[in-house]
Structure 1
Amino acid sequence: MSAPTASRRLILLVDDDALLLDYLSTVLRHAGYETIMAASAPEALQRVAEPDTDIALALLDINMPGMSGLDLARRLKDHTEVPFMFLSSVDDAETARQAASHGAVGFVVKPVDATRLLPAFESALARADEIRKLRHTEANLNAALAAGRETSLAVGLLMTRFQTDRNTAFEVLRDHARSSRRKINELAEQLVEAEELLNGLHGAFVSRLRR
C-alpha cells in the first residue's frame, strides 16, 4: 500500500548502476512516490531542465564516470532549487564532510536496503521541505521590506516586543494581515502609528511623574 504522506511526489534517481536504479525506483514507488531515473549526471541535468518537472528531491550517486555526483550537486545548487541527497559506497568522515559542504540534505551508504533507505530518505525530504519553506519566506520578506518602510519598521517592532527572529515576526504580521483581509503595509503603518502613540504617552507620563 502506498504511504499516504508521500503525496506522489517526484523523485530523481541518478546512478550508473541500472540494477540499483530499478531497485531504488521500486522501493520508492511502493512507498508512494513517483520516480524518474538518470544513468549519468548529464542525463540528470536534462531531466531537471524538462518543462513542468517538479522534482521534490534528487538522490545522487557520488561516484559516477565523467561528471561525478559531487559535480552534479554543485550544478544543482548553483542553477536550480532542486534539493539533493547522496548515495555512496564509502562510509567515512571525509565523504560525509564533502556531502555536507555541497549542501546535501541526506546521505545513504551502499549496499542499500529498504529498511535503511526509507527513513533516511524521508528525513532528507523533510529537511528539503524546511529549506524550501525558509527560502520562500525569506523571498516574501525581502519583497515586503523593499516595498515599504512601514513594514520594515513593524517587523523590527515585533522582533523587539516579542523577542523573536526576523522571519517569525514577518510571518505573524503577514498572517494577521491575511486573516483581517488587509494589506500588510496598511497593518504595518497602523502598528507603527500605535507604537509612536504609546511612546508619546509614555513620555507624557514620565514628565507628569517628575513634577
Structure 2
Amino acid sequence: MESPATARRLVLVVDDDALLREYLGEVLRHAGHDTIEAGTSAQALRAIEERGRDVALAMLDISMPGMSGLDLARLLREETEIPFMFLSANDDAASARAAAEAGAVGYVVKPVDAPRLLAALEAALARGDDIRRLRRSETSLSSALAAGRETSIAVGVLMARFRIDRQLAFDVLRDQARSQRRKLGEVAEQILAAEETMNALHGAIVERLRNK
C-alpha cells in the first residue's frame, strides 16, 4: 500500500514562467501526481476556490509580478489548510529565512532538476500531512476540552440545585443524553443555558420586589 506522501496527489504549481511551469507539470505527472498550473497568484486563488479541498501541496514561485508567492503563501496559511513550498531563483539566506517565516514546508532553488525537485516534493508532502494531522488533532482536543468543561459545570449545577453528589449528578446527565440520543456536551449546554435564564429571571424578580 502506498503511503500518503508517495500516493497520487494533486499539486498546485504557481509560476509566471510558462516554460518552467510546463516542465514542472511534466515532471510531477511523470512521477504519478496530478497538477493544476497557474501563472499568477490570482489564477491560483481561482483554482483554489474550485478545487482547494483536493490540493495536497502548493508549489509557489517566491517572486512573481503582482501578488508575490510570499503574499499568496500568507493567504494560504491564514485561510486554508494547504501546505506550500517555494521555488526561488535566489539561494541567499534572506530568501530562505523569509520562506521559513512564511511557514513553507520546502524550498528549492532554481534551476530545478527532476530528481532534486521530486525529493523535495515528497519531503514537503510528508511534512504537510504531518501539519494537517496536528492541526486537526489540536482542533479535536480543543473541542473535547470545551465539552468537558461544560459537562463539569453542568454537573456542579445539578449538585447544587438538587443537593446530590457528583456521581449521581453525572449519571443523571449521562442517562438524559442517552435517552435523547444526544451528545453529553449538548445536554450540558442546555442545562447551562437554562441556568442562565433562571438566574436572570431571579434577578429581575428581586429587582421588582425591591421597587415595590
Give the alignment's TM-score, normalised by structure 2: 0.67
Q: Cα gap change, 1:4/1:21 in structure 2, threshold over 3 Å: closer, same or farther?
A: farther
Q: Distance in 1 between matches of 2:88 and 2:58?
A: 14
Q: Distance in 2 between matches of 1:108 and 1:52?
A: 23
Alpha carbons 1:4, 1:32 under 8 Å: kept: no
1:42 correspondence with 2:48: no
Residue 73 (structure 2) aligns with: 73
Deviation of 1:7 after TM superposition, in Å, equals 2.3
Which protein has greater RCO, CA pairs closer than 8 Å, 6+ apart?
2
Matches within 5 A, 1:48-127: 48-51=48-51, 53-127=53-127
- Aligned partner of residue 129 in structure 1, secondary structure: helix
State how many pairs are aligned: 153
Residue-by-residue CA offset, 1:116-142 (whole Å, 9 max, x unaligned):
101111111111111000001101111
Deviation of 1:184 after TM superposition, in Å, equals 10
Residue 189 (structure 2) aligns with: none
Residue 136 (structure 1) aligns with: 136
Consecutive aligned runs of 4 or more in structure 1 exceeding 6 Å deviation: none
Alpha carbons 1:145, 1:151 under 8 Å: kept: no
1:147 correspondence with 2:169: no
Deviation of 1:83 after TM superposition, in Å, equals 0.7
Q: Distance in 2 between matches of 1:50 and 1:80?
A: 13
* Structure 1: gaps (5+ residues): 153-182, 186-211
Q: Distance in 2 between matches of 1:12 and 1:53?
A: 12
Alpha carbons 1:62, 1:70 under 8 Å: kept: yes
Q: What percent of counterpart residues are identical?
A: 63
Q: Cα gap change, 1:126/1:184 in structure 2, threshold over 3 Å: closer, same or farther?
A: farther
* Structure 2: gaps (5+ residues): 153-182, 186-212
Matches within 5 A, 1:18-37: 18-37=18-37
Residue 203 (structure 1) aligns with: none
Q: Distance in 2 between matches of 1:70 and 1:150?
A: 41
Deviation of 1:21 after TM superposition, in Å, equals 0.8
